[in-house]
Amino acid sequence: MAKKTNSFVLGLILLVVGCLLVYWGYNEAGSIGGKIDSALSGSPTNRVMMFYVGGAVCGILGLFMAFKK
């Protein structure tokens, strides 16, 4: 029982961290510097993409760990 509870709590923590990383990446992309870099290069910066990818990975891993049977 304790192992399932630990897995659930860790999954929720990863899910929250993933959401925060995606939100942080969204804010970074919408900042003045992010808009200038995007306008000049035509694509989001590597930093923004790392936030998005890291957030997605943490979120998916968190969902899997929290809600697996």
* pTM confidence score: 0.82
Instruction: Tell me: pLDDT of 57 over 70.
Output: yes
Grade residue 43 by pLDDT with cuts at 50, 70 and 90: confident
Number of folded domains that form the chain: 1
Q: What is the DSSP string of 19-59?
A: HHHHHHHHHHHHSHHHHHHHHHHSS--HHHHHHHHHHHHHH
Residue 7 belongs to domain spanning: 2-67
